[in-house]
Amino acid sequence: MSKEGLMRRNNSQVPRPALGNVPTASIYGPARQRCKATFFATGLNRGCDPNRDRIDDCHGPHANLEALTAEGRRDEILRNEDAFAWVLGFFPTYLRPCFARCIAGIGQVGYYVTNYEVDTKDYTGDYECARAVFRASVASESPQCSLHIVLAHDVWEGTGYGFEGFMINEARRAGYQLITMGESLDDPVVIWNRDASTGQARRG
């Protein structure tokens, strides 16, 4: 049993063959209004529906990977995989490092490292500022020739019960289509997750 009270799987020996055409370790949002979203879940997050929403990895207990050793970074990632594997029987192929830092070694465990380019800073609780940042981002370019990856945190009440809806409405008003991370990379659905036993692309 781990210190959190859950028995740990050991995913460290699961094969990590390349899936898709994007090199691993390459740099590259959500609500319930009938739109798609990608949730990057830490080991402490809950509430996503795997039959509707994309669930990807934001690793373990939300540590700054730059402050860890290579072994520590790997363990941080594998700990979150344990939770995915126990509950869902698979784990994702996309990972967003917490605090948008440190990708060293992540490709070795077969992840596409993703990141945002619009930080709403909703976690500060200043939703007036967050709305201004988001509104400016969707107004800055034509949706026909731009793609925005936006950072927001649905674990904050003000985001889950207000700001998410604002972002969806503003994006649609500006002509944007709301898609998942895998779709933004033109990756086929079959390679979005790995089978927890074989490490191969999850089918079905």
pLDDT tens across the length of the chain (204 residues):
344 444 455 666 777 777 766 554 333 334 456 677 777 776 555 444 444 444 444 444 556 777 777 788 888 888 888 888 888 888 888 888 776 666 666 666 778 888 888 999 999 999 999 999 999 999 988 888 888 989 898 888 898 889 989 999 999 999 999 888 889 888 898 889 889 889 898 876
Single out the residue of 62, 31, 184 nearest to residue 117, CA to CA: 184
**Does some domain include residue 31?**
yes
**Does some domain include residue 204?**
no
- What's this model's pTM, rounded to 2 decimal places? 0.69
**Does some domain include residue 60?**
yes
Provide the pLDDT for residue 49: 45
Tokens 């995915």 belong to 84
CATH number for position 137:
3.20.20.370
Q: How many domains does the chain have?
A: 1
**Does some domain include residue 6?**
no
CA distance 116 to 64: 16
If phi > 0 it is left, if psi is from -120 to 50 it is alpha, else beta; for residue 62 that is left
**Does some domain include residue 202?**
no
Tokens 């990141």 belong to 115
Domain range enclosing 60: 11-195
**Does some domain include residue 200?**
no
Provide the pLDDT for residue 109: 75
Give the 3-state secondary structure of residue 46.
coil
In 62-176, which ranges are continuous DSSP H helix?
70-88, 127-139, 157-158, 164-173
**Does some domain include residue 4?**
no
**Does some domain include residue 2?**
no
- Cβ of 181: how many Cβ atoms within 10 Å? 24
